[in-house]
């Protein structure tokens, strides 16, 4: 980790963000011989790819002080669209739906003034209904070309790895190199001040929700290939999981603080936790509790100065 990133205080990165997954990694490689196998590492990669993509979208929204609870429903909806629309149109249809949902969320929050928690919870409920309407019972067939995108491997490196690399690259570029990214940090810190600096706050906010929905759509495409079916409830856990992941990564829901590196680390932490408990044979029922505990540990090590949600 470059020192400059560690020092910058809008990244939200703390020692804990890095120490937690590193510690888990070491402990697991000692406790379980199977952990360090290539197959297991590639399993972990496949298991966290979708969450990583969704969490990066969640990061973009969190940077402007928003939150998107509808990502899970968008993901579910995407899988149902993939198996219900003719294979030629499946991808464009899903992406179009993602963009439309992002627009509605963004406009609801910025123009209609609905609190992001409520707006995205409303769309979550609506989209859950829509997904059930489109494809009530799990099943269907995923176009072959998609299945290939998620399962093939190149030179021994699984496809999921390339999905992750692509997502991380795009997100890092957007947030640290472009004017767009910088302005998100400004909006997250103080909308009114950002607007007075000539930034079209509404336009950017809506863009963030669109980016987030599209990220969830892409994760949905990956998931439908991974579970080889459309499932109207498959995405449900992603809303809270993605928020957990970004929180572990030091992202502040109040806005203006967060980094791609943090989100990657947070997602890896969650992935290691699930995988590790299965390998070590700890009761699966305790996994949820362990996630909660780790989350408390993580936030205890990243004291904030702001008060608020």
Ligand X SMILES: Nc1ncnc2c1ncn2[C@@H]1O[C@H](COP(=O)(O)OP(=O)(O)OP(=O)(O)O)[C@@H](O)[C@H]1O
Q: Which of residues 88-147 bind ligand X (CB under 6 A)?
A: none
How near is the Cβ of 200 to ligand X at its closest, in Å?
Answer: 4
Spell out the residues 6+ positions from residue 70 whose beta carbon is closer than 8 angstroms to its own.
101, 105, 120, 121, 123, 124, 127, 213, 216, 239
How near is the Cβ of 203 to ligand X at its closest, in Å?
Answer: 4
CA–CA separation, 14 and 259 (whole Å): 11
Interface segment toward another protein; rule CB under 8 A; list 88-96, 153-161, 206-214, 272-280: 272-280
Name which position in 39, 88, 154, 155 contacts another protein (CB under 8 A). Answer: 39
Interface segment toward another protein; rule CB under 8 A; list 18-26, 84-92, 247-255, 259-267: 247-255
CA–chain centroid gap for 296, Å, is 20
| Residue 92 binding: pick among ligand X, another protein, none (C-beta 5-8 Å cut-off by kind) | none
> Is residue 148 a contact point for another protein (CB under 8 A)?
no
| Pick 196 or 304: Cβ nearer ligand X | 196
Q: How many CB atoms lie within 10 A of CB 189?
A: 18
Name which position in 14, 28, 46, 159 contacts another protein (CB under 8 A). Answer: 46
Tokens of 198: 């000539």
Tokens of 95: 């992406």
CA–CA separation, 238 and 250 (whole Å): 18
Cβ atoms of 16 and 298 closer than 8 Å: yes
Considering only residues 177 through 216, tell me which ones interact with ligand X, judged by CB under 6 A.
179, 200, 203
CA–chain centroid gap for 243, Å, is 8
Considering only residues 182 through 201, tell me which ones interact with another protein, judged by CB under 8 A.
182-183, 185-186, 188-190, 192-200
Name which position in 25, 93, 140, 149 contacts another protein (CB under 8 A). Answer: 140
Spell out the residues 6+ positions from residue 48 whose beta carbon is closer than 8 angstroms to its own.
164, 267, 268, 270, 271
Interface segment toward another protein; rule CB under 8 A; list 17-25, 41-49, 84-92, 160-168: 41-49
| Pick 95 or 195: Cβ nearer another protein | 195
Distances (CA, A) of 212 to 69, 101, 139, 244, 287: 10, 10, 26, 16, 27
Size of the site for ligand X (CB under 6 A): 3
For binding to ligand X (CB under 6 A), which residues are involved? 179, 200, 203
């Amino acid at each position: 980790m470059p020192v400059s990133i560690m020092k910058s205080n809008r990244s939200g990165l703390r020692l804990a963000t890095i120490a937690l997954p590193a510690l888990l990694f070491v402990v697991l490689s000692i406790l379980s011989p199977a952990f360090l196998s290539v197959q297991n590492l590639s399993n972990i990669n496949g298991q966290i790819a979708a969450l990583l993509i969704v969490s990066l979208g969640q990061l973009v929204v969190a940077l402007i002080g928003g939150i998107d609870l509808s990502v899970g429903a968008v993901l579910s909806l995407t899988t149902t669209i993939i198996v219900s629309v003719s294979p030629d149109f499946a991808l464009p249809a899903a992406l179009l739906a993602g963009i439309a949902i992002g627009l509605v969320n963004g406009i609801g929050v910025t123009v209609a003034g609905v609190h992001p928690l409520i707006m995205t919870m409303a769309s979550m409920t609506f989209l859950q209904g829509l997904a059930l309407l489109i494809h009530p019972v799990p099943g269907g067939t995923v176009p072959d070309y998609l299945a290939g995108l998620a399962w093939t491997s190149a030179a021994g490196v699984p496809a999921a790895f390339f999905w992750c690399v692509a997502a991380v690259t795009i997100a890092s570029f957007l947030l640290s190199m472009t004017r767009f990214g910088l302005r998100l940090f400004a909006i997250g810190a103080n909308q009114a001040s950002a607007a007075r600096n000539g930034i079209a706050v509404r336009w950017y906010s809506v863009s963030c929700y669109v980016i987030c929905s599209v990220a969830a759509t892409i994760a949905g495409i990956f998931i439908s290939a991974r579970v080889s079916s459309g499932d109207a409830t498959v995405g449900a856990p992603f809303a809270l999981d993605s928020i957990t992941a970004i929180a572990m990564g030091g992202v502040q829901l109040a806005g203006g603080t967060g980094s791609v590196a943090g989100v990657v680390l947070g997602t890896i932490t969650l992935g290691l936790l699930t995988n590790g408990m299965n390998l070590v044979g700890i009761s699966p029922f305790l996994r949820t509790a362990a996630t909660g505990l780790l989350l408390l540990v993580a936030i205890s090590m990243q004291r904030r100065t702001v008060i608020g949600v």
